[in-house]
Structure 1
Amino acid sequence: MSRFLDTLVASARANLGADGRGLTTGDPDDPDRRTWGQVHADALRLAGALGHDLRPGSAVAILAADPGLIATAVQAVWLGGGSVTMLHQPTARTDLAHWAEDTLRVLKMIEARLVLLGPPFEQLADVLEENGITYRDLAALAAEDAEPLAGPLDVDEDATALLQLTSGSTAEPKAVRITHRNLRSNIRGIVAAGSFDPATDVSVSWLPLFHDMGMVGCLTVPMAVGMEAVKITPADFLARPLVWPELISRHRATVTAAPNFAYAIVGRRMQRADDGQFDLSSLRFTLNGAEPIDPAAARAFTDAGARFGLRADCMVCAFGMAESTLAVSFAPVDRGMEVDAVDPDELEQRRRAVPVAPGAARARRFVLLGRPLSGLEVEVVDDAGRPLGEREVGVLRVRGEAVTPGYLTVDGPRAARDADGWLDTGDEGYLVDGQVVICGRRKDVIIMGGRNIYPVDVERAACEVEGVRAGNAAAVRLDAGSRRERFAVVLESKLAGEAAAEKELRRGVAARVLDAVGVRPAAVVVLAPGSLPKTPSGKLKRTAAIRLVPEV
C-alpha cells in the first residue's frame, strides 16, 4: 500500500469515535458532519458498490457539487486503486453541446471507464448517454448498503492518484498526472510549512474541488492528516460572499485559503458590515494564492477584518501550481504579507530587481512568496538555462518529489521534467533571500521598446479607475513578437453600452495605465459584466480576450 494511503487509513482509524475530527458540509442551511472514520467507512462501502467498475489503475471521473459526496467518492476510488479526475462543471450559461464535446475529449484522453454523476448534474445523464459515456448515479451508490471493500488495495508509490485538468489558455485539454508519491510529499511539506496541528486546527473553504487548491489543499490535506474541515460550494460563496466569514466565526476556524479576488470582494463587504457581525480572532492562517496577489487588495482585507478581531499577520502569500501537486512555497507564518518594491526601469530594461524605498512614487511592488517547501527546490535561469543570481529576473523552475512526472494530452503522454528533473514553470521572477517572487507569466509579458511590461501591473492600474469591475481587467499583447508589439486593455463595467460614460471610462483607464507603466494602451475595450473569458477556476484567459479587441 502506498504511504499516502497508509496516512489516509491511519487518519480514519484515529478518528472513529463520535468525538473524532471530521468533515462538515451543507452549512449553513443543512449542516451534516461525519468523522473521518465515518467518511472512510462510507468510502469502503461505495468502493464495494462500484464492484468491477472500479479496478486497479482505472481512471474515474467525478461530476458532482456536494463536497460530502465528493469526499466519499474520491477516497473510494483511491482505496480501490483508481485515479480521480474532477470534471469541470457546467454553469447556467454553459452551452451543453459544447460542454459534452469537451468532456468527451477529456474522458477519451484520460481513458476513463466511468463517470460518477451526482447532484445537481443528474440532468446531464441524457447528454452522457447520447455520447456513449458510461456513468453511475453517485447519490444512489452512496446510499446502497453494499458489502464494503475489504481494505485498501496495494498501490504502487508511482501509481496515478489524481489527474488534474489544467485551466490553460488553449482549447486543447491537458491533465497533470499526480502520483501517490507526489501527494504524500506535498502534503507533508504543506503541513510543515503551515505549522498545522490536526488536533486543534479547523479549516473552512468554499474553493471548487475541480481546482488543485480546493481538491488537494482544502479536502485531501484535512482528510489525510485528520484535521477538522468545513466545506461549502463555490456557488454558496458567489451567492453570498459574507457566508465565508460567517462560517469562520461559527466554527472558530484557524485556517482558510482563497485567490486574491475573493479577499478583495470580502474585504469591501466587511467594510460595510455591522460591528460584532463576525468574530475572526481564531483565524491564524489565510492562504492567498492561485493568481497574482495585489498587495492593496490583500491589505484591505486584513484592515477590514481588524474590526472583527482578524490578526494583521494572518495573511500567508503562496506560490503553487498543479504540476507541483499544489504548493511550491509559503511565506513565513506569523509575519504577514511582505512586499518588495523595486525600480521599474531596472526591472523592465535590465531585468534586475533593484530595491527602492517602500514609499517610492515610481516602484513596482511584488509580494514575497516564501521559501520552497520541504522536498522542493526553485531556481531562476536565463534563456539558455544558466542559473541566475539573487534579484536577477529570469524563468523560474522547480524540482522535487512533489513535481509531476508528466501530462496526459490528446496526443498522448508528455513528460514535464527535463533530464535533471527540473520543471519549467512558465513564470518569470527572481529570488530574494531564498524567497520566491513572481513577476508574471512569460508568455504574457508585453515587450515594447526593449522594456518588459507585466500585464498584472496594467490590470491593477485599470482596476483602480472607478467604474471598472474589480479583478475584471485583462492586458493583452497585440502583434506579439513583432517590432511593433502593442497592448490593449479589455475590461468589464456596468457602464458598458452607455456611449458617453464608456468614452470617459476609456479615457480614464488609458491615463491611469500611462501613469502606472509609462505606456498608453493601443485600445481600451469595455464589456458588460460576465463577458471576459475565464477558466473554470476563474482566472483570466488573456489569449482568448485578444479576440475581443477590434482592429486598431
Structure 2
Amino acid sequence: MDYRPRFVAPTLVEAVRSLSGDEQRGFVFVRPDGQERFCSFAEIHREATRRGAHLAARGLAKGDRVALVIPDSDEFVLSFLGAIYAGVVPVPMYPQLSFKNVESYHDTVAHITRASGASLLLTTATTRPFVEPVKDKVETLGSIVSVSELEGPAPGSIDHVKISPTDHCFFQFTSGSTSRPKGVVVTHGNLAANSEAIMIHGLAKDSSVDKGVSWLPLFHDMGLIGFVIAPLFTDIPVVFLPTASFVRAPRLWLDAIHKHRGTITYAPNFAYALVAKRLKDKDVAGLDLSCVKIAGCGAEPIQAKTLRDFAEKVKPAKFDPRAFLPSYGMAEATLAITFVEHLTGAHSDTVDPKALQEGKASPASNGGQELVCCGHAFPDHEIAIVDEHGRRLGDREVGEIIARGPSITLGYYQEPELTAQSWKPYDGETWLHTGDLGYTVDGQVYICGRIKDIIIIRGRNYYPQDIEWAVSELPGIRRGNVVAFSVDVDGEEQLVICAEAFQSDAVGLIEQITSTVAGQIGLSVHKVEIVPQGSLPRTSSGKPQRRKTKQMFEAGTLPSARATRAGQSDQDAQDAQENV
C-alpha cells in the first residue's frame, strides 16, 4: 500500500527535527526521588544528534542494531533517538530490577541480542552487572557500553545519514503464550501512520493545550510509541513517571496529572483496578482531574466494572468518565488497531454466555457476560472478522480478527515461517491475522479471547480470561496472577486453575475458587494449584504464559506456595514493570 501521512512527518527523525527550535516545551522525566529533569524538544534534538554521533564513532552504521537495556526514562529516550538519528536500529529490552531469576533473564537478553544481530548493548552503570554475563553468551555481541561512556562533544557528523519511511526504525520484541521473544520489524512509515491514526484521528490532539502523563515502561510498545514516538510526531509534551514508583504508590500517577494538568494518559486494566483498590478517600481529596480528556485503556482485557470502580473512586476529583477510551492493538500492528470515539466513554455489550460459547454474541437482557467495546478501525485501515475457512462473518458472529493498513508491520525479523503464519493474503492483499477472537456490532469491535487459549469442555468454548478474572476478584488472590487451562483426564478435558497466593490461605482459597467458578462460569474445577507469588511464567511484557504453565503443571514442576509474606512490595514492582 502506497501510503503517505497527511498530518505528520514521514519519518521519526524528521518529526523530531521539526521541533528542534522549541526551547520552551518538551519532556519532563520524574526520578524515583521526585526530582524532575526537563528536556526541551530542542535539547532532545541536540542530544539525539550527539549520542548518534558517538554510536557512529564506535563503528555502528545505518541498519546495524543496538540493544538497549536502560531503566532511566530520560537516558532511554535520548539514547533511543540517538540511535535512530544515526540510522541504527534500537532493540529495547526490559531492565532487570533484582537478582531474582537472573539466569533466566540472561537467557532472554542473550536470545533477543542474538536474534536481532545487535553488535552493541547499551546500558547504565547500575544495570550493567545484570547484563555483563550476556557478553559470553552471544558471539555477535562486540561490546557492552554504559551511556556514561557516550559523554563529550560529538566526535563527528551524522548529517550524511538519510532516513526514509521504508527504513527499519526499531525492533519490538514480543513473545506469545508459548514462544520465545520474536522481533517485530517497525518502519518509520509504520510509526508515522500509527501516530497519525492515534493522535490525529483517535485523540483529536490539540498541541496548544494537550499534555501526556505516563508511567508505562518504555521498553514496551504502549509506553514507547504511545508516549514518546506519537507525541514527537504530533508536538505533544509528556511527563514520564518511574513505573516502579507508580506501583508502590498509585496515587503518584494522579498527583502528576493534577500537578502538570495532564490531558492524555493511558494504562492497562490492572492499573485502574489498582487505583480503585488502594486509594482512600483522603488520597483523592484535593486532587483536580477535570483536566483529563483521554484516559485510555488497553494492552490486556478490559473489564467494565474496573472502569466504573475507578470512576467512582475519583469522582470527587472531578474526573469525567467520558474520558475513558478503550482500545485494541498489538505490536504487530505497530500499536493501535481500533479506538472508540474520544469523549464518548466506555460502553459495553452484555451477551448470552452460552451463545458466546457457540460462536454467537447474542444480546442478553440480564445475567449475561459484559464485554467492553474497543471501537472501530482508523481511516486508511480496515478490520474484518473471519472464520477458520477465511469466510468473512457478519455482526455478532465470533471469529478471528484480521487487520490491514499502513500501520501493519513487515513481520518478524528473520523469521519467515512465523511471519507467514500471521501475515497472510486475503482479498488480494496481505492482512495481519491477529489470533484474537472477537465480533463486531455496527463496525465496533469486541474482544473475546485468543484462539490458542480457548478452553473446550463438553463441546463448549470457554475463554480463560473470564475464568481468570472471576478468580482474581477473590480476596487473597493477586489480581492478574491467575492462569486457567484444560488438561486431558481419562479422555475428557477438565479445568485446571493456577493462582498465586500464600500457603496459609490455600485451603480456603481452593474452596472459594471452586465455588466461584461453578457459580459464575458454570464449570466444575478438576484441580486448583496455589503457587508462590511471582512463580507463574510470563512473557517479557508480563502476560501469562498459559501453555508454559500447563506444561509445568503436567510435568509436576510448579512450585508450592510459601507461607511468608516478606518481600511483597519488591515483587509487586517487578511484576508491574513487566505487566503491560
Could you tell me how far 1:376 is from its partner in structure 2? 1.6
Could you tell me how far 1:195 is from its partner in structure 2? 1.2
Please identify runs of 4+ aligned residues in structure 1 that moved more than 4 A.
Answer: 1-8, 409-413
Secondary structure at the residue paired with 2:50?
Answer: helix
Could you tell me how far 1:72 is from its partner in structure 2? 1.1
Secondary structure at the residue paired with 1:112?
Answer: coil
1:187 aligned partner: 195
Aligned sequence identity (%):
29
Secondary structure at the residue paired with 1:421?
Answer: strand
Query: Within 5 Å, which residues of 2 pair with 1:95-134?
Result: 95-124=101-130, 126-131=132-137, 133-134=141-142
Select which of 259, 262, 268 maps to 1:250.
259
Number of residue pairs matched by the alignment? 543
2:42 aligned partner: 37
Partner AA of 2:35 in structure 1: D
Residue deviations 1:178-223, cap 9 Å, x none? Answer: 1111111101100121111222111111111111101111111122
Q: Out of 425-434 and 405-414, give the one that drifted further.
A: 405-414
1:414 aligned partner: 419
Select which of 87, 92, 95 maps to 2:98.
92
Select which of 69, 72, 82 maps to 2:78.
72
Partner AA of 1:183 in structure 2: L
Structure 2 residue 373 is matched with structure 1 residue 365: no
1:340 aligned partner: 349
Q: Out of 64-73 and 538-547, give the one that drifted further.
A: 538-547
User: Structure 1 residues 137, 8: CA separation in 2 closer, same or farther (over 3 Å shift)?
Assistant: same
Secondary structure at the residue paired with 1:291?
Answer: coil
Q: Out of 507-516 and 540-549, give the one that drifted further.
A: 540-549
Conservation of the 8 A alpha-carbon contact between 1:47 and 1:54: no
1:545 aligned partner: 549
1:525 aligned partner: 529
Which whole-Å CA distance do the structure 2 matches of 1:222 and 1:118 have between them? 25
Which whole-Å CA distance do the structure 1 matches of 2:392 and 2:357 have between them? 20
Partner AA of 2:113 in structure 1: L
Could you tell me how far 1:112 is from its partner in structure 2? 1.2
Which whole-Å CA distance do the structure 2 matches of 1:170 and 1:347 have between them? 26
Could you tell me how far 1:136 is from its partner in structure 2? 4.8
2:572 aligned partner: none
Secondary structure at the residue paired with 1:511?
Answer: helix
Secondary structure at the residue paired with 1:424?
Answer: strand
Conservation of the 8 A alpha-carbon contact between 1:50 and 1:141: no
1:301 aligned partner: 310
User: Structure 1 residues 6, 163: CA separation in 2 closer, same or farther (over 3 Å shift)?
Assistant: closer
Residue deviations 1:305-343, cap 9 Å, x none? Answer: 111111121111000000000000011111111010011
1:209 aligned partner: 218
Alignment RMSD (CA, Å):
2.4
Could you tell me how far 1:528 is from its partner in structure 2? 2.8
1:47 aligned partner: 52
1:382 aligned partner: 387
Structure 2 residue 444 is matched with structure 1 residue 438: no
Conservation of the 8 A alpha-carbon contact between 1:400 and 1:421: no
User: Structure 1 residues 413, 507: CA separation in 2 closer, same or farther (over 3 Å shift)?
Assistant: closer
Partner AA of 1:543 in structure 2: R
Secondary structure at the residue paired with 2:121?
Answer: strand
Which whole-Å CA distance do the structure 2 matches of 1:20 and 1:509 have between them? 51
User: Structure 1 residues 409, 105: CA separation in 2 closer, same or farther (over 3 Å shift)?
Assistant: farther
Unaligned residue ranges in structure 1 (runs of 5+): none
Could you tell me how far 1:521 is from its partner in structure 2? 1.5
TM-score, normalization by structure 1: 0.92
Select which of 324, 329, 332 maps to 1:315.
324
Conservation of the 8 A alpha-carbon contact between 1:173 and 1:410: no
Select which of 172, 176, 184 maps to 1:176.
184
Secondary structure at the residue paired with 2:295?
Answer: strand
User: Structure 1 residues 395, 412: CA separation in 2 closer, same or farther (over 3 Å shift)?
Assistant: closer
Partner AA of 2:410 in structure 1: P
Residue deviations 1:470-513, cap 9 Å, x none? Answer: 22222122239x961222111122xx222xx4222211111111
Which whole-Å CA distance do the structure 1 matches of 2:458 and 2:519 have between them? 17
Could you tell me how far 1:143 is from its partner in structure 2? 2.7
TM-score, normalization by structure 2: 0.88
1:145 aligned partner: 153
User: Structure 1 residues 104, 472: CA separation in 2 closer, same or farther (over 3 Å shift)?
Assistant: closer
Which whole-Å CA distance do the structure 1 matches of 2:36 and 2:465 have between them? 39
Structure 2 residue 300 is matched with structure 1 residue 291: yes
1:58 aligned partner: 64
Partner AA of 1:164 in structure 2: Q
Conservation of the 8 A alpha-carbon contact between 2:174 and 2:540: no
Conservation of the 8 A alpha-carbon contact between 1:128 and 1:134: no
Which whole-Å CA distance do the structure 2 matches of 1:528 and 1:225 have between them? 45
Could you tell me how far 1:270 is from its partner in structure 2? 2.4
Secondary structure at the residue paired with 1:549?
Answer: helix
2:89 aligned partner: 83
User: Structure 1 residues 382, 13: CA separation in 2 closer, same or farther (over 3 Å shift)?
Assistant: closer
Which whole-Å CA distance do the structure 1 matches of 2:470 and 2:30 have between them? 39
Q: Out of 106-115 and 19-28, give the one that drifted further.
A: 19-28
Could you tell me how far 1:402 is from its partner in structure 2? 0.6
2:396 aligned partner: 391
Structure 2 residue 468 is matched with structure 1 residue 459: yes
Residue deviations 1:136-166, cap 9 Å, x none? Answer: 5343244322246353722232221111101
Q: Out of 383-392 and 454-463, give the one that drifted further.
A: 454-463
1:20 aligned partner: 25
Conservation of the 8 A alpha-carbon contact between 2:10 and 2:189: no
Which whole-Å CA distance do the structure 2 matches of 1:338 and 1:217 have between them? 23
Which whole-Å CA distance do the structure 1 matches of 2:232 and 2:160 have between them? 15
Could you tell me how far 1:278 is from its partner in structure 2? 2.3
Conservation of the 8 A alpha-carbon contact between 1:64 and 1:120: no
Q: Out of 29-38 and 51-60, give the one that drifted further.
A: 51-60
